Amino acid sequence: AETLAVQSSTMQRLSAAKCVFLLCDVQERFRHLGYKFDAVVAGSARMTAAAKELGIPLIVTEQYPKGLGHTVAEIDLSSVTDHGGFVVEKTSFSMLGCPDVSSALKKMDYDAAVIFGLEAHVCVQQTTLDLLEAGKGVHLCVDAVSSQRTVDRTCGLRRAERAGALLTTTESVLMELIRGKDHPSFKAISANLKHTRAEDPLEGI
């Protein structure tokens, strides 16, 4: 029984009906500071479009936008509210430190969060730890998560994984969510994957 419990906790299969997407702080100020920032933008745009297609709630945060700017224009947020998502400013590092985010998540019926954005060792990491502490599964898209320095990115992702998060990629997440070619969104997701490939992709850890 104990072995089955461990397998269940590490498997964390994704379902579109029971997950939420979290886009963390992909803002203009980081454009010339973040390591392979364009890859983060490409992956975030991919997941934002997929959230719309699959009807998954997307919560977007912006860390102190007065100083760091808003979410970059390449990421289309025009439909973010269609499935219960929203864009919100924050000053806490963890997304869950924002009252609007924590309140919204408490009302949602979800068991896993898929996270992409910045920075791996600060806001993404602290959001991950808060979600794990709340008993939620966390999937970190390593091809769409970065920091300003590579050492910070590596350490942030490794700590999150040791804490219980699953390291994955945007494509892996989307393929798991649709399961196969017979899914009604297969063609749309396939086209999305082709159109949003990063020219200079992020590597694993």
The residues annotated with a catalytic role in the active site are 25, 90, 123
Distance (Å, rounded) from C-alpha 51 to C-alpha 80?
8
Question: 59 phi and psi, to 5 degrees?
Answer: -105, 130
Please give the Cα distance from 146 to 148 (Å, whole number). Answer: 7
Question: Cβ contacts of residue 73 below 8 Å, gap of 6+?
Answer: none
Tokens of 132: 């794990």
- Closest to 153 in 3D by CA, of 67, 40, 59, 45: 40
Helical segments of the chain, H only: 2-11, 37-54, 65-68, 99-107, 123-133, 150-163, 170-178, 186-195
**DSSP secondary structure string for all residues of 29-42:** GGTTTSTTHHHHHH
Sheet containing 166-168: order of strands: 86-90, 58-63, 19-24, 112-118, 137-146, 166-168
Q: How far apart are CA 53 and CA 192, in angstroms?
A: 10
